[in-house]
Amino acid sequence: MPAQIISGTEIRKTILSELQTEVAHLKAEHGQVPGLVTILVGADPASMSYVTSKIKTAKDLGFKEVQENRDPDISEADLLALVESYNRDDSIHGILVQLPLPKHIDDQKILMAIDPDKDVDGFHPVNAGRLMIGGDAVKFPPCTPAGIQELIVRAGVETSGAEAVVVGRSNIVGKPIANLLFAKGPGGNATVTVAHTRTKDLAEHCRRADILVVAAGVPDLVKPAWIKPGACVIDVGVNRVGEKVSEKTGKTIAILKGDVDFEKAKEIAGSITPVPGGVGPMTITMLMRNTLNSLKYRIGLL
Ligand code: NAD
């Protein structure tokens, strides 16, 4: 039987509608809306496109959205001062600095300057520590891993006691999703293996997985024969493998492929995410949830 297709596009719509209801409620009951500042340095087309989507989503939800665009020659000191000014601004609950930053700026220094209680990307070491501790300590899980966990839970896949295998050990995907999956609590309690480039028999590890999360950035790395029948497969990989002309817009667009051979894998897996339209749409959605939660922490609702 072909797999259930876990549509990030559809789940995103549901979550955004839930968030919109919450924003309206917070406004009516507490007279406050979540505030997000997006800081963009320079005009890298990919960064501009990400920031534009974040701004649009925030505005559609009824957030206060402040856009700070700076020339690429801004000094590190000026950028630090800008971040600091939003750390002090009570109407702002989330500060997002779009990466990458120009070479003369130390991006770690900038990310470290963000108040951890406004770090809605979840990249500050304080939030990495909170994630490691788990439970109520977790404030802002990084957005892509939080989105992956949400997809698994909303697809009705049982994580408790499941064998989960994560391929990839990056700080933004592999490590945090492993943490979320083995943490005590809903959407957790799995037994997690993290595989990486030095893993001896990747195929064997994948074959054991009830939940297989692949975040390697290697097209078709995971072969259909490595998938356990009925497994939940989350393909995080986004690989540009060519270009095509869009039927909708007539523009040239990238052909994207995941880390799993989707067409063959969907005949074996129990559920699977497509690329695009799987994990991708969840990242900004979780950024919005983190920003909303930041306001709720501030006013004592969480
Ligand atoms: P990364 O390059 O930082 O990490 C890749 C990890 O995969 C490394 O830990 C490496 O050890 C492992 N790996 C690479 N090749 C491997 C192999 N042959 N066998 C076993 N392990 C291998 O990448 P990342 O930032 O974690 O991103 C991974 C993929 O996810 C990329 O394709 C990226 O574009 C995509 N991504 C998507 C989203 C999204 O959809 N929103 C967000 C972040 C990343």
Which tokens in the block code for residue 157? 């896949």
Quick: pLDDT tens for 208-256. 999 999 999 999 999 999 999 999 999 999 999 999 999 989 999 999 9
Residue nearest to atom 17 of ligand 1 (CA): 197
Q: Measured between alpha carbons, how far is 250 from 259 in angstroms, rounded to an integer?
A: 27
Q: Is 108 a catalytic residue?
A: no
| pTM of the predicted protein model | 0.97
Q: Is 98 an active-site residue?
A: yes
> 14 forms bridges with which residues in the sheet?
none
pLDDT in tens, 151-187: 999 999 999 999 999 999 999 999 999 999 999 999 9
Q: Give the residue-averaged pLDDT of 11-31.
A: 98
Distance 301 CA to ligand 1 centre (A): 35
Locate the ligand 1 atom nearest the alpha carbon of residue 216 and give its number: 7
CA distance linking residue 189 with residue 164, whole number of Å? 10
CA of residue 237 to ligand 1 center, whole Å: 6
Q: Which of 4, 32, 44, 54 is catalytic?
A: 54
Write out pLDDT tens, residues 286-300: 999 999 999 999 999
Contact of 3 with 261, CB cutoff 8 Å: no
Q: pLDDT tens digit string along 57-89?
A: 999 999 999 999 999 999 999 999 999 999 999
Please choose from 193, 201, 236, 239 the residue to mutate so as to test ligand 1's pocket, defined by most ligand atoms within 8 A of CB: 236
Ligand 1 pocket member 168 (CB < 6 A): yes
Mean per-residue pLDDT of the chain: 97
Q: Hey, is 182 helix, strand or coil?
A: helix
Cα separation, 146 vs 163, in Å, equals 19
